[in-house]
């Protein structure tokens, strides 16, 4: 079952270790319970090469070797992760992307790219048994008795308004930075 999320307090944790590049991980709680819209939100935020994180943190600012996010459906969490050199600047840009999403600052093309990424991922699971088993097992855990075709239809129907509603419910719970300094 998903847990109810209330009274979220942002924590900052910094640790030192002999690493070649700093690791910045940001935990986000999603207060709304719409897994399809959250999946699309996550894909726009950090799901691939077209995502806001990849484009703004890695490509435009050249602050990260990698920048992306993943949605953990069972916990209603999104984990933003990046390998960075400049903590303050990277954190500032990541937070701006999260805020921009709340303001609806993403295009119809961003939504379309995100949906295509998710749908391609769903369809590709049929090519690998262990991926399909994991997918089905996850559905069983969530007590969602739907097949991949219905899952695809649900993703296709997500609207910008639903994504903005998700974005407005997203809150940072933890900022973790592993550095060698």
Q: Which residue has the higher pLDDT, 169 or 135?
A: 169
- Per-residue buried b or exposed e for 3-38, using 16+ beta carbons within 10 Å of the residue's own CB: eebeeeeeeeeeeeeeeeebbbebbbbbebebbbbb
First to last CA, the chain: 40
Average pLDDT, the chain: 89
Of 149 and 2, the structure prediction assigns the larger pLDDT to 149
pLDDT for 2 equals 47
More confident residue, 75 or 146: 75
pLDDT the model gives residue 143: 74
Most confidently modeled range among 70-79, 141-150, 155-164: 155-164
Instruction: Report which of residues 54 and 3 the model is more confident about.
Output: 54
**What is the reported pLDDT for 1?**
45
Task: Kindly report, residue by residue over 63-122, the tens digit of the pLDDT.
Answer: 888 899 999 988 999 999 999 888 999 999 999 999 999 999 999 999 999 999 999 998
* Dihedral, 81, 84, 88, 94 alpha carbons, nearest 10: -40
Tell me what percent of the residues of the chain surpass a pLDDT of 70.
96
């Amino acid at each position: 079952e998903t847990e109810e999320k209330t009274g979220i307090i942002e924590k900052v944790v910094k640790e030192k270790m002999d690493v070649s590049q700093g690791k910045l991980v940001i935990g986000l709680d999603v207060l709304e319970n719409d897994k399809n819209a959250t999946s699309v939100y996550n894909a726009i935020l950090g799901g691939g090469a077209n995502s806001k994180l990849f484009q703004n943190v890695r490509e435009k600012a050249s602050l990260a070797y990698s920048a992306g996010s993943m949605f953990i459906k069972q916990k209603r969490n999104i984990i933003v992760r990046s390998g960075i050199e400049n903590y303050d600047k990277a954190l500032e840009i990541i937070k701006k992307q999260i805020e921009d999403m709340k303001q609806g600052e993403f295009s119809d093309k961003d939504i379309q790219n995100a949906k295509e990424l998710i749908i391609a991922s769903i369809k590709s699971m049929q090519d690998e048994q262990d991926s399909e088993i994991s997918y089905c097992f996850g559905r069983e855990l969530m007590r969602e008795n739907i097949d991949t075709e219905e899952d695809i239809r649900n993703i296709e129907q997500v609207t910008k308004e639903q994504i903005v509603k998700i974005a407005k419910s997203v809150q940072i719970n933890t900022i973790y930075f592993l550095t060698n300094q």
